[in-house]
Each structure stands twice: as C-alpha cells, then as structure tokens.
C-alpha cells in the first residue's frame, strides 16, 4: 500500500505526532499540513487504519502503528540522504533541496539508497541538521533546545534548523546561522519577545522568539 500519497500521509503523521504532547495527531491539522480537505484526510485515515498503518479511534487522535512508523522512518531516510547528496555533491542551495527531495524520495529503491548512503559516508544528519535514520530505522538525535529558551550571555552551538521554508533557510544562511556554528546570546528582551545573538566574526542579529524557536542548539 506504500504509494506516494500514502507515504506523504505517513510522513506528515510522524512529524505531527512527534510535535504533539499526546503523541497523536488530529485530522484537521493533518489536512492542513497536506493541503487537503478534512473529508479527504478522513477517508485516507480509514484506509490507513484498515492497512494497520495507523490507530484511529472515534473522538480520539491518530497515532502510527509500528508498521506505519517503520514506513515513516524509511521515507525520512530517503528524503534526508537525497538532500545531503544534493547539497554536498551537486552543490545545490540548501534552501532549494527540500522540494527536489520530495519528488525523488518516492522513486529511490532500497539498493540505490544504500549505495548513495555509503557514497556519502553514512551521514548521521542532513544539511539542516535533521537526523538521518539508519537502515534499521534507528534515529540518533542530539540533545538540544530551542534558541528561544536560551539566557543572555549563554554560548551555544547550532544543531538543527527545524523550519524548511525556503525564505527562512535563506535568512538563516545569510545570517551565518548554519548547523555547527557557535553563537553567543548577547541579550534577551521579554518585552519585545526577541533576542540578540552573534556568531563568531559576525554582526549581532536580532531574532524574534518565533524565529529563534525554529533553531535548535546545544550549550557549549
């Protein structure tokens, strides 16, 4: 049943469930994420439930089964390995590779995926810092917290950029805020819901709390 549409639903559910404190996703939020109607999403959830890829009880949220979770991790692995190849080898801009990987991830066979992963040196993260599941579905995520939760004078290293929006990735790159870059939080302003941060050899940059929440860091 793993068609392109099914894989897109499973991948979206995985992300939404990870974000939810309950570990479940709602139909309305899923429909919004995939730009479909609530009725269309409901119909697909019924199909996925019959295929035992999701658990969906009446008046409750949606959760992936072990089978569905395995598919989600496989799609994520393909997507992130492809993004790494496009940036590292083909030298595409990291802000442009998400949509390309969306197209290619459904066509990549397990054999080609493994060869590509081996060629890249079995990377643990993609260019945005997202963890790449291994062939067995294991995911190793670095401990991190949103930059928005940092205090003034705290020194941190960027681990991951959560927002894949092209405009945001361009802004992050132009500011020099790439995974692996060290930052100093110069000041935090609760009144304006913003903070000022500076990278080594860079100029101070003011970020809104909303933007800073999309940048994950570890304390150094």
**CA atoms of 172 and 97, how far apart (whole Å):** 15
162 in a domain, yes or no?
yes
Give just the sign of the alpha carbon dihedral 142, 172, 108, 45: positive
Within a domain: 12? yes
Q: The tokens of 183 are what? A: 């930052």
Q: How confident is the model at residue 71 (pLDDT cuts 50, 70, 90)?
A: very high
Domain boundary among 64, 90, 108: 64
Q: Note the pTM of the prediction, 2 decimals.
A: 0.89
pLDDT given for residue 104 in this prediction: 94
pLDDT in the model for residue 70 = 95
| Residue 101 within any structural domain of the chain | no
pLDDT higher at 64 or 141: 64
Whether 150 is covered by a domain: the verdict is yes
Q: Is 34 domain-assigned?
A: yes
d(CA 130, CA 165): 14
Percent of the chain exceeding pLDDT 90 equals: 92
Return mean pLDDT, the chain. Answer: 94
Residue 25 has pLDDT above 70, yes or no: yes
Give the domain-ending residue among 43, 64, 85. Answer: 64
Query: Are the CB atoms for 147 and 113 separated by under 8 Å?
Result: no
Q: How confident is the model at residue 147 (pLDDT cuts 50, 70, 90)?
A: very high
Query: Is 106 inside any structural domain?
Result: no
Mean pLDDT of 7-19: 94
Domain that holds residue 215: 145-219
Number of domains in the chain: 2
In terms of Cα–Cα distance, which of 27, 48, 47, 49 is closest to 38?
27
Residue 33 lies in a domain: yes
pLDDT band at 202 (very low <50, low <70, confident <90, very high): confident
Model pLDDT, residue 2: 67
Give the pLDDT confidence score for residue 57 in this predicted structure. Answer: 83
Give 155-200 pLDDT, tens digit per residue.
Answer: 999 999 999 899 999 999 999 999 999 999 999 999 999 999 999 8
* Strand-pair category, 215-219 with 155-161: antiparallel
Which CATH number belongs to the domain containing residue 159 in this structure? 2.30.30.90
């Amino acid at each position: 049943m793993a068609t392109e549409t099914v894989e897109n639903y499973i991948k979206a559910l995985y992300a939404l469930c990870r974000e939810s404190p309950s570990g479940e996703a709602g139909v309305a939020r899923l429909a919004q994420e995939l730009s479909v109607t609530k009725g269309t999403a409901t119909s697909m959830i019924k199909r996925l439930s019959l295929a035992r890829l999701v658990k969906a009880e009446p008046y409750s949220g949606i959760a992936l089964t072990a089978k569905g979770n395995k598919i989600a991790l496989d799609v994520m692995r393909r997507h992130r390995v492809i993004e790494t190849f496009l940036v590292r080898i083909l030298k595409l801009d990291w802000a442009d590779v998400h949509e390309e990987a969306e197209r290619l991830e459904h066509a990549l066979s397990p054999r080609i995926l493994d060869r590509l992963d081996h060629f890249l040196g079995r990377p643990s993260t993609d260019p945005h810092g997202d963890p790449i599941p291994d062939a067995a579905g294991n995911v190793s995520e670095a401990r991190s917290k949103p930059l928005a939760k940092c205090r003034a004078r705290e020194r941190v290293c960027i681990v991951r950029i959560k927002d894949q929006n092209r405009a945001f990735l361009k802004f992050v790159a132009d500011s020099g805020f790439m995974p692996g870059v060290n930052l100093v939080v110069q000041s935090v302003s609760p009144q304006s819901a913003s903070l000022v941060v500076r990278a080594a050899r860079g100029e101070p940059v003011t970020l809104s709390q909303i933007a800073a929440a999309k940048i994950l860091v570890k304390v150094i």
